[in-house]
Amino acid sequence: MAQGAPTKVKKRKKSVLKRAKQSHVRAEINRANRTRVRTIMKRLRTAIDAKDATSAGTLLQPTLSAIDRAISKGVLEENTGNRYKSRLTLATNGLRATAKA
């Protein structure tokens, strides 16, 4: 279904209309949560690619929290979120190690 497209409902029962409305509202909330997580992950990846250890270090914890929040809200699968967290943490730790050396 395209973004912002109205839900097509064939039946005109009250319960069907309510479920369609609830579905639309949930989709908007899920989209906002997904966008928030993707944006903060993109910021962290940009800092890692720029080899900016201090910026990556400060962005790591909020990013991990945002991923955990997305997992708890059902926006991300648990394994997917854990994979993201692991890879981002390894990249940030590697960047810190090279910065110290």
- Residue 7: the pLDDT is 64
More confident: 11 or 67: 67
pLDDT of residue 5 exceeding 70: no
How confident is the model at residue 39, as a pLDDT? Answer: 98
Assigned token pair, 41: 């992950």
CATH of the structural domain 16-100, one choice from 3.30.420.40, 1.20.58.110, 2.60.120.590, 1.20.1050.10: 1.20.58.110
Q: Fill in the amino acid letter for 99.
A: A
Q: What is the pLDDT of residue 12?
A: 83
Neighbours of 73 (CB within 10 A): 13
Give the list of residues 6+ apart from residue 7 with CB closer than 8 angstroms, or none: 1, 20, 23, 24
In this prediction, residues 78-91 reach a mean pLDDT of 97
Average pLDDT of the segment spanning 27-39: 96
Residue 70: is its pLDDT beyond 90?
A: yes
Yes or no: say if 88 and 60 are a contact pair by the CB < 8 Å rule.
yes
Whether the pLDDT of residue 53 is over 60: the answer is: yes
